[in-house]
Chains A and B, each alone.
Chain A
């Protein structure tokens, strides 16, 4: 009986699988791009290891900071607000354009650099150099410019570019599970078409 049932499930899954796939794609497409980016950013935190000095075991929250003009709609932020990361609550802090204060740098675990900061990017990244803050942005060429994780919009999905050198310098480690999905880039490497 059990065997029959499981076989039935397997076959139904098979049959439905072929049809279901494009639907899933369609669903993903249906989600707003900014929400998807917010969720991806949130997920990145789960695959990242901070040094204990930055994220001590006693800490109860992980701070996600947004620098510059907030590109996320309330829906997108709601999707991640208050969720758990590494057993801690996710809190969101939004900082205005410009350079961050030292307090802000020490408070943030993840920093999403808004597209509005494209022109000030070099300065921002220089300020954050060696600070154990995971930098994420959807600015084109972000990873090659010294950023850590770039969210690259491809045809139907959002791709990930990771600059492992930047991570190493900052003392952050990302899971190999993430790395196998992402495209690993470096600053010196000449840009390639995505």
Chain B
């Protein structure tokens, strides 16, 4: 039925009509042939019976007076009927009294065996109400068979003629059904090809197909309407989005230039000012004899140093944020990067223990220097908060479409508002004297770098023991490329 499924509806209709009419015509043909054959056969039997009756009636005398010769003469009259192959008259005891054989019977015995189609008729011979014998006539059915075959041939020819006519007629009539469907299909094709919903299918009838076409047109009208509305809406939306994007970009550009200005201002203007203050403090120190102010001087100097460091950090952060989006990104093998960094840490923090789980070949698209800076900051943060003599663990995890880089340390629990850990200048954890990190720049940089790579940073308490886990999740944008590399 696979092939039938793929046929066009016009062909299907023709096939269905042809199957229906073929079945009907064939049944009729078979019935006709059978009827004809049966009638023909009955006619033959009845003809033979008449002949038997005649022969029997003519042979009463011969039987009564035991004259088989006359009986044989009577039988020999059957030679005018070539289809009668054998005939016999039996006497009342059933013995053969006289018989007749068509010459063919001897010649054609073989054929007779092959085609055993003979019909036998027997008729009693009655004289004066008394049965005195019996006539048996055997006729072969060659002629009958020929007639039947002729009938079959004729019927077959007529059936073929009818079916040919049927195909012609049904091929024309099927258009009543398939025509509207084809037009509907053409309309549908045009609609889907040109995406033109203003097209309408023509309606030619008021039947189910007409309803279907109406429905189709109604649907098109609706789609057209919605399309127009959608198009209008989309046009408005696009304009709005563009305007918004422009606004945002402008704001961002303003912010970035402001950040650059701020960095420049901090570096140049404020450095000049601090230099002035430092020089003034030197002069005060040199000129005064009163050593009692030394304590104030040293405090002022310390504050000045702190301010300088702070200014430097803020300037760095500002310029980082301003420039980070312009960084060039390449393929970075994170596994390699983590391994190299850990070696460095082990040499620079000799007293600190490090551990790492780092599967090979984890690569992302990014800026290597920034990523290294990010890891530096995470590790520095961990060292700062780690319990003495506890190891710092760095793990690299490859997920479906992202990479998780985590730094784990044992130590005090994180504060409740963990999301604010990554904010600028917020150092919520216990401050240690003379450390840069309490200025909160490190984690802010981590957040900046993660976001610049399309990822995010997250801090959690360790499960089971005191400690913190800082995780940076980065998308594996270049995973295909990474696999190839």
Contact of A181 with B112 at beta-carbon distance under 8 Å, contacts A6-B120, A13-B136, A86-B128 already known: no
Q: How far is the CA of A60 from the CA of B85 in the complex (A)?
A: 45
Q: Which of B70, B99, B112 contacts A13 (CB 8 A)?
A: B99
| In-complex Cβ contact of A16 among B60, B67, B96, B119 (8 A) | B96
Q: Decide if B62 touches A181 in the complex (CB within 8 Å).
A: yes
C-alpha gap A21/B130 in the complex (Å): 23
Residues of A contacting B119 in the complex (Cβ-Cβ under 8 angstroms): 3, 6
Q: Mark B112-129, 1 if CB is under 8 A from A, else 0.
A: 100011111000000111
> In the complex the two chains form, is A181's CB within 8 Å of B70's CB?
yes
Beta-carbon contact of B64 and A24 below 8 Å: no
The residue from A16, A21, A85 contacting B128, defined by CB atoms under 8 A apart:
A85
| A177 CB within 8 Å of chain B | yes
Any B CB within 8 A of the CB of A178: yes
B396 → chain A closest CB, angstroms = 95
Q: Does A126 contact B (CB under 8 A)?
A: no
Instruction: Say yes or no: is A123 at the interface (Cβ < 8 Å to chain B).
Output: no
- Residue in A28, A157, A178 whose beta carbon sits within 8 Å of that of B61 in the complex: A178
Q: Show the binding face of B for A, using Cβ within 8 Å.
A: 58-62, 64-68, 70, 85-86, 88, 91, 95-97, 99, 101, 112, 116-120, 127-130, 136, 138
12 interchain pairs, CB-CB under 8 A: A3-B116, A6-B118, A6-B138, A7-B138, A13-B136, A14-B86, A17-B96, A40-B65, A43-B65, A85-B128, A157-B66, A181-B67
Q: A104 an interface residue at 8 Å Cβ cutoff? A: no
When distances are taken between beta carbons in the complex, the residues of chain A under 8 Å from B130 are 84
Most buried by B among A10, A40, A84, A86: A10
A95 within 8 A of partner (CB): no
* A3, B61: Cα distance in complex, Å: 31
Chain A interface, number of residues (Cβ within 8 angstroms): 32
A84 in contact with B129 (CB, 8 Å): yes
Specify which chain A residues have a CB less than 8 angstroms from the CB of B129 in the assembled complex.
Answer: 84, 87
Residue contact B65 to A10, C-beta cutoff 8 Å: no
Q: Which 8 A-B pairs have the closest CB atoms?
A: A6-B120, A177-B61, A43-B64, A17-B96, A46-B128, A3-B116, A181-B67, A10-B86
Contacts of B117 in A (CB 8 A): 3
Could you give, for residues 154-176 of chain A, a 1 whenever the CB lies within 8 Å of some chain B CB and a 0 otherwise?
00011010000000000000010
CB neighbors of B among A28-62 (8 A) = 28, 40, 43, 46-47
Roughly how many angstroms separate A90 CA and B53 CA in the complex, as a whole number?
A: 27
Partner of B120, one of A10, A14, A43, A86: A10
Q: Does A103 contact B (CB under 8 A)?
A: no
Nearest-neighbor residue (CB-CB) of B112 within chain A: A7
Is residue A180 within 8 Å, beta carbon to beta carbon, of the partner chain? yes
Chain A positions 5-28 with a Cβ under 8 Å from a chain B Cβ: 6-7, 9-10, 13-14, 16-17, 20-21, 23-24, 28
